[in-house]
Structure formats: structure tokens, C-alpha cells
Amino acid sequence: MERMFKQWWRSDEHFYWMLILPAALVFVTLGLYPLLSTIFLSFRECILSQPWRGVPYVAFSNYSYFLNSELFWKVIKNTIVFVVFSVSIEFIVGFFAAWLLNLDTRGKSFLRMAILLPWSIPIVIAGLCFRFMYNDIFGVINAMLLKVHLLKYPVAWIGDNTYAMGALVFADIWKSFPIIAFLLLAGLQQIPTALYEAANIDGASPIQSFFFITIPLLKRTIFIALAFRTMQAVSFAFDIVYSLTRGGPGDSTQVLVSLSHKYSFQFMQFGKGSTLAILTLLVSFIFGSVFIILLLKAARQ
């Protein structure tokens, strides 16, 4: 027995497997098992505040409860609006930032530091900061807009149905554009400068070389960055929503993850919360797979 073990142990491959084992165990017990049991819970009724009811199997009734509710479709719409607008504007701002970081300008390390800042701070602090700036009575955004006469009277940015989603998107752009900037910077650094020099000699304008060199060579990175950010925006929107608007006013900024949190940890309905979590997972995979398909298509060309 001992000899068998020693022999098994002597193989390098087995040694490497042993190194992977702890991580795999953590992942299986605390990742895979909870994921499977969330799926299991989503088919059950589990109300923590009423433990005497147990966890009866209810088949698809949690799912049909949401698919037939108006709130759920509103929340889906909010999630899509939030993801599409924040990621696409983040992409533009992030592209600009990546371009700046890739230039050899003066004050480069200051630039780098400045762009790292929004990325590094807790999302809730960013949310609270914007909550403070959006305030309708003493907020700085209203004061500035009033001063330059863009507004006639103060607006309650996060207290008003019409503006709340825009305010949320604006705050999220500030917090999350750096990550897209860094992903794109990685791609930009890969493009050999000789290509631009050659294009310049051939008489191409900077705009032409942007569209005929940068974009085609960056395609792969762009799709990766978009896949990454859209999935993140679906899955991790909770912090910014909770700290800024708490889903309000009147569910106008409620997204899937915050609704799931509301069902699970305010109403203590773990079954319905799990259902929403699984639906969020699906939505995030749909968003991600769009860009992964585009990526694979681009790779095949």
C-alpha cells in the first residue's frame, strides 16, 4: 500500500494534481455545491421567517410567478437598459482613457494614478458620493448646472422616475470605465508602432489609421472586454444600485440582482430569491455569449 502510494507520488503529474486539490475542494464545496443547491432551491418554497412550512417542492411555480409578473419584466428591461447604456458609454470613455495611457505624454504616472482611483475605491463609497452630489437641495451637480443656466430649477436626480436610471448609469460609468480602459490598453500595447509609421508614410490620416489599423487589430480585445464588462454589469450591479437608489423610486432602477436581494434578505423568501439568481445567471450568460460568439467569428476570419 505504502509502496503504491510512493510510486503514485513520484509521478510529477500526480504531484501537480495534489497542488490543485485544495483549490478544487474549496471550489466544489463552496462554489459548485451552492450553485447546484441554488438551482434546487429555485424549485422550492423556502421562507426563512416561516420555518414550520419546511421547503416544499413547488416545481416551476417560482419561475411562473416571476414570468407572469409585471415587475419582473420591468426589472429585466431596467437591467438591459442599465447594461447597454453603461457598458457602451464606458467603452467610449474607456477607449479614450486607454488611448491616453498609451501615449507618451508628460505626467503619465499622474494620469495612471487618476484612472486607477475610481477603480480602486469601494463601489458603495462611489455610490454614496454620487448620492451626495445628486442631492436636490445641497448637491453640487444641481448647483453647477443652475449656475451655467442648463437648469431652471433643481432636479432630484435620484428621487425622480425619469432621471434615476440615467443618474445610476452616470455613476456606474465613472466607477467602471477604468477596467475597460485597462483591458483595451493591453490590446493597444500589442499593436506594433511600425504599422502606424508605415501608414503615416503612405499618407494615411490618424483617423484612417484608427479605423484601418487599430480597430481591426483590436477586435479580439474589444469583444473580450465587452463580454467581461457586460457579464460583470449584470452580475455585480447590486452595490451601486443599493448605495445610490436602493432600486427606487418605485422600482425604476431595480435590476435583477437587487430584486433577488430584496426577495431573499428583506422578504426572507429564499426560494424566490434563488429563482431570480438563476435567471440573473442566464441573462448574464446570454450577454456574455453574444460577445463570445462574435469573438469566435472574428478569430475564424
Partner 1 sequence: MKHIKRILFWILVSLFMIYVLFPIYWLINNSFKTEKEIFLFNPTFYPHEFTYNNYRTVLFMRAGGVNFMAYFSNSLIVAITALILSIFIGGLAAYGISRSKSRAVYILPLIFLAFSLTPPQAYVHPLYLMMKYLKLLDTKLSLIIIYTLFSLPLPIWFLSQYFKGIPEELEDAARIDGCTRLQVISKIVLPLSSPGISVSAIFVFMYAWNEFFLAGIFTSTLRAMTLPIGIMNFQQAHSISWNLTTAASISAIFPLVIIISIFQRYIIQGLTAGALKG
**Interactions with partner 1, residue window 113-172 (CB under 8 A):** 113-118, 120-126, 128-130, 132-133, 137-140, 143, 147
Choose the stretch contacting partner 1; rule: CB under 8 A; options: 20-28, 84-92, 191-199, 207-215. 20-28
What is the size of the binding site for partner 1 (CB under 8 A)?
A: 91
Q: Which of residues 179-238 bind partner 1 (CB under 8 A)?
A: 179, 182-183, 185-187, 189-190, 221, 224-225, 228, 231-232, 234-236, 238
Q: Write down the least CB distance from residue 53 to partner 1, Å.
A: 15
Q: Write down the least CB distance from residue 116 to partner 1, Å.
A: 5
- Can you say whether the dihedral through the CA atoms of 123, 127, 129, 130 is positive or negative? positive
Separation CA 247–CA 255 (nearest Å): 7
> Closer CB to partner 1, residue 111 or residue 204?
111
In order of 141, 143, 144, 153, 246, the CA distances from 150 in angstroms are 11, 10, 9, 9, 28
Side chain identity at residue 74, one-letter code? K
Structural contact between residues 233 and 86, judged by C-beta atoms closer than 8 angstroms = yes
- Can you say whether the dihedral through the CA atoms of 190, 207, 116, 80 is positive or negative? negative
Q: Which of residues 251-280 bind partner 1 (CB under 8 A)?
A: 257, 260-261, 264-265, 270, 273-274, 276-278, 280
Q: Which of residues 66-85 bind partner 1 (CB under 8 A)?
A: none
Q: Write down the least CB distance from residue 3 to partner 1, Å.
A: 19
Q: 177, exposed or middle or buried, with CB in 10 Å at 0-12, 13-18, 19+?
A: buried
